[in-house]
Amino acid sequence: MAKPQSRVTLNGSSKSPLPSGQDLGPADPNQSLEVTLLLRRHRSPDPANFASNSLHQRRYLTRAEFARSHGATSHSVQRVRDFADQYNLKITQENLPARLIKLSGTVQSFHQAFGVDLHHYRDASRTFRCRSGPLTIPSDLQDIVQGVFGLDNRPQAKAHFRIRKPSPNVAHAATISYSPLQVAQAYNFPPNTDGTGQCIAILELGGGYNPSDLNDFFENLGVPLPKVTAVSIDGAANSPTGDPNGADGEVELDIEVAGAIAPGAQIAAYFAPNTDQGFIDALSTAIHDAKLKPSIISISWGGPETSWTAQARVAFNSACEDAAAMGATVIVAAGDDGATDNSPDGSLTVDFPASSPNVLSCGGTRLSLSGNSISSEQVWNDLATSEGGTGGGVSQAFAIPDYQKTANVPKAPNGFAGRGVPDVAGDADPATGYTVLVDGKQAVIGGTSAVAPLWAALLARINQSLGSNVGFVNPLLYSASEQQSFRDITTGNNGSYPAGPGWDACTGLGSPNGTALLAALRNNPGK
Please pick, among 250, 289, 377, 387, the residue that the annotation labels catalytic.
Answer: 250
Question: Do 105 and 178 fall into the same domain?
Answer: no
Establish if 198 belongs to a structural domain: yes
**Residues paired with residue 82 on neighbouring β-strands, in sequence order:** none
- Residue 231, SS3? strand
Question: Do 144 and 169 fall into the same domain?
Answer: no
- Residue 193, SS3? coil
The secondary structure of 414-443, three-state, reads: CCCCEEEECCEEEECCHHHEEEEEECCEEE
Q: What is the pLDDT of residue 527?
A: 47
For this structure, is 351 an active site residue?
no
- Cβ atoms of 145 and 136 within 8 Å: the answer is no
C-alpha closest to that of 431 among 369, 382, 358: 382
Establish if 212 belongs to a structural domain: no
| Strand order across the 351-352 sheet | 158-159, 301-304, 351-352
C-alpha closest to that of 423 among 350, 507, 364: 507
pLDDT (tens digit, 9 = 90+) per residue, 52-105? Answer: 988 989 999 999 999 999 999 999 999 999 999 999 999 999 999 999 999 999
Report the distance separating Cα 251 and Cα 263, nearest Å.
16
Question: Do 166 and 116 fall into the same domain?
Answer: no
Question: Do 358 and 482 fall into the same domain?
Answer: yes
- Measured N-to-C along each axis, helices 514-523 and 448-466 cross at an angle, to the nearest 10 degrees, of 50
Report the distance separating Cα 415 and Cα 60, nearest Å.
36
Domain count, the chain: 2
Residue 351 pLDDT > 90, yes or no?
A: yes
For this structure, is 143 an active site residue?
no
Instruction: Tell me the CATH number at 381.
Output: 3.40.50.200
Question: Do 314 and 441 fall into the same domain?
Answer: yes
C-alpha closest to that of 459 among 421, 426, 410: 426
The continuous run of DSSP H or E covering 398 comes out as strand 393-399
Establish if 231 belongs to a structural domain: no
Establish if 54 belongs to a structural domain: yes
Q: What is the pLDDT of residue 68?
A: 92
Where does a domain end: 120, 149, 178? 149
pTM for the structure as a whole:
0.96
Question: Do 421 and 511 fall into the same domain?
Answer: yes
Provide the domain limits for residue 299: 158-202+236-247+257-267+278-523
Question: Do 290 and 368 fall into the same domain?
Answer: yes
Question: Do 13 and 61 fall into the same domain?
Answer: yes
Please pick, among 194, 252, 254, 305, the residue that the annotation labels catalytic.
Answer: 254
Pairing of strands 136-138, 145-149: unpaired
Establish if 441 belongs to a structural domain: yes
Establish if 223 belongs to a structural domain: no
Question: Do 458 and 314 fall into the same domain?
Answer: yes
**Sequence-separated (6 or more) residues with CB below 8 Å from residue 150:** 33, 34, 35, 36, 275, 277
C-alpha closest to that of 230 among 245, 251, 249: 251
pLDDT (tens digit, 9 = 90+) per residue, 431-460? Answer: 999 999 999 999 999 999 999 999 999 999
Question: Do 177 and 129 fall into the same domain?
Answer: no
Please pick, among 449, 465, 479, 485, the residue that the annotation labels catalytic.
Answer: 449
Establish if 214 belongs to a structural domain: no
Report the distance separating Cα 479 and Cα 500, nearest Å.
18
Question: Do 441 and 305 fall into the same domain?
Answer: yes
Question: Do 142 and 178 fall into the same domain?
Answer: no
18 pLDDT band, cuts 50/70/90, is confident
Least confident of 165-179, 276-290, 396-410: 165-179
Q: What is the pLDDT of residue 480?
A: 82
For this structure, is 250 an active site residue?
yes
